[in-house]
Chain A
Amino acid sequence: MTPVLQTLSLSKTYNEGPVDVHALRNINLEILPGEFTVIVGPSGSGKTTLLNMLGGLDTPSEGKVFVAGTDISNMSENELIDFRLHHIGFVFQAYNLIPVLTAEENVSFILDLQGRPAGEIKARAAEVLAEVGLADRAKNRPSELSGGQQQRVAVARALAARPQYVLADEPTANLDSATAFSLLDTMKRLNEDEKMTFLFSTHDPRVIDRASRVITLVDGEISSDERR
């Protein structure tokens, strides 16, 4: 099986401060289609940095990132923006949604930006909102939704354009445990139903049980990588 995501000797060094920070060192990683991978590790271990590299939000200092065989490590900023739009889904920890748009519009604008036909956009937005259990909140604005519901809208949006994979940096960090588990269950179900590849980071050890693969980062290096 061709990996959806592959890194070759990926390194990231921040040299903004007085001392260089080696946030990632020599990461070699393959993510297969349909995997439900969680990245864990102590604070500052490089989880966010790794996800940013894998999402084309930042460029590596050394090494390469391949998405479904395409090298994205040398793309220009504009090429990366367009690449992200079409190939990668994102869920952030917070500030995922635009407050002046309804849940439905927050999901569908990705498809709008891709230039899909109006009919398809409407149908797909309704479909993914239903999949995250928010069919009845389509017309509500984010301020009228709970934190968990807002994150579900973000997951629905990440999924809407059927990207290669969905990246989520601590998607449950701002949620209480019950809500966090329910969001994870939703993601897990989408992973199975839509065959969507998920890759997310977390601090929460309770989350690990639900993952099919756990990658542990320590000081910017992979210290363990287990599939179960």
Chain B
Amino acid sequence: MIKTTSKTAGLGFVFRLSWRNIWRNRGRSLSLMTAIFLGLTGGTLAMALVTGMMEQRFFNAIEKQYSHVQLHTKTWLDEGQAGMGILAGALLLDSLEGLPEIRAVAARTLANGLIASPTLTQGVELRGIDAAAETHLVRLPEQLIEGAYLGDTAAPELLIGKRLAQKLKVEVGSRLVISFPNANQEVVSGSFKVTGIFRTANAGFDQSTVYLHQHQLQALLGETDAVYELALRLNENDSVPALTAALQAAYPDLQVRSWRELAPELAYMQDSGSMVSYIFVIIILLGLSFGILNSMLMAVYERMRELGMLKALGMTKSRIFLMVMTETLTMALLASMIGLLTGYGLVAWLGNTGIDLGGYAEALAEFGYDAVIYPALSWQYALNITILVVVLSLLASLYPALKALKLNAADAIRS
């Protein structure tokens, strides 16, 4: 009578032997695991850095500059001249405020004009704002680095960007003259005092933007209540496309644009997402796979006689295969887990303190980044990396495992 073995018999032994085999050549296993550990810690950190920078840039752009949706007249966008504001803009503002999707709105009066210091004249966009509304909408007061926010509504006050202040060689308290054509094509002008200087993460914006009280700009324009721009902050970024489409349909004369159209580079960044940084991590992992392949091949060659002996005694091929695979996978997963944990630990720590690249603040601002980077990473990344590690280490151990299977028991034990 022929006895046969059940499929699950001896699995405990297979796993135990795999585990012991890892520690057999301690030096080799530890150096392989150290490589995986370091690779994943570094990869995780790099990934978090890129993600953090992207999220910050995204945050800056939406929370501090564009908001989610903006409305203008088409003529203003094409020609940018006085008198091209939104008809009954103040009424529209009121009705938008009532929509459930909307968290905050602001109406702005815009004009393109010149600003002059005693030494220099510069073209700028004048943005007449409701000081209180902008506090909610774009956190304008937080963006000040010197001086104070717009306060006394009667006083002629200006906020200018750091770049512009440097160019005009002015500081808080200096007086500047602004001038621009009104709706009747007459040039009007006024003298204002710089009350505050702001800096955003957008250097171009800082050089060309001036804030003042909305009613003062409206008075100079000779258009009481004129609104040129409506900016909306929604409760959810997800409702942006639907609301944009609905508003466009409701107001066909206006141009309704979401941040995706206002800042196409952001939309591209969000769509291509973290692809680039994943490619970086995948390259690290591919490199490590060859380390795994080499290590396991050496291990199998070293144990040829022993594997032959096991096969001779009755260890089935599938168990030998499983043994080599388990050994590889255990090492790879153990090292990756420690690497990921260390990576996430560093990310959590640096996510609080931030990495201060203050020295490069100017250069970073050119590209819309903050000087302090807060690395950030979702848990999805850990899951994706774990899956990648499993797949790649299985692939890397396939060849050594097949080598182990191929051997002939009688040859292997012949001394």
Contact = CB atoms under 8 A, between A and B. Distances in A.
Nearest to B3: A86
Nearest to A161: B314
Contacts of B410: 52, 57-58
B380 interface: no
Contacts of B312: 55, 57, 84, 90, 92
A99 B311 CA distance: 16
B319 A93 contact: no
Contacts of B3: 86-87, 114
Interface stretch (A24-32, A105-113, A182-190): A105-113
Interface in A77-114: 77-78, 81-87, 90, 92-96, 98-101, 105, 109-110, 112-114
Contacts of B315: 81, 85, 113
A100 B13 contact: no
B413 A112 contact: no
A15 to B, nearest CB: 16
A48 B312 CA distance: 14
B300 to A, nearest CB: 15
Given A70-B2, A115-B5, A115-B10, A48 B414 contact: yes
Contacts of B21: 100
A84 B17 contact: no
A228 B2 CA distance: 32
Contacts of B390: none
Contact of A78 (B8, B17, B310, B316): B316
| Interface range for B | 20 to 34
Contact of A98 (B306, B314, B409): B306
B306 A85 contact: no
Contact of B313 (A94, A105, A110): A110
B317 A114 contact: no
Contacts of B6: 115
Contacts of A92: 309, 312, 413, 415
Contacts of B103: none
Contacts of B314: 81-82, 84-86, 110, 113
A113 B11 CA distance: 8
A109 B13 CA distance: 7
Given A81-B314, A81-B315, A82-B316, A113 B2 contact: no
A85 B317 CA distance: 13
Contacts of B310: 98
Nearest to A170: B415
A101 B323 CA distance: 15
B24 A95 contact: no
B305 interface: yes
Contacts of A84: 312-314
Nearest to B8: A115
A86 B4 CA distance: 7
B75 to A, nearest CB: 82
A107 to B, nearest CB: 11
Nearest to B9: A115
Interface in B1-40: 2-6, 8-10, 12-13, 16-17, 20-21, 23-24
Contacts of B8: 115
12 contacts: A55-B312, A81-B314, A83-B2, A85-B314, A85-B315, A92-B309, A92-B413, A92-B415, A109-B10, A110-B314, A113-B5, A114-B9
Which are the 7 A-B pairs with shortest beta-carbon distances? A85-B314, A115-B9, A113-B10, A100-B20, A112-B13, A86-B3, A57-B410
B404 to A, nearest CB: 14
Contacts of B309: 92, 95-96
Given A78-B317, A84-B313, A112-B10, A100 B17 contact: yes
B10 A114 contact: yes
A78 B409 CA distance: 12
B128 to A, nearest CB: 80
Contacts of A85: 5, 313-315
B5 A82 contact: yes
Interface string B375-415: 00000000000000000000000000000000001100111
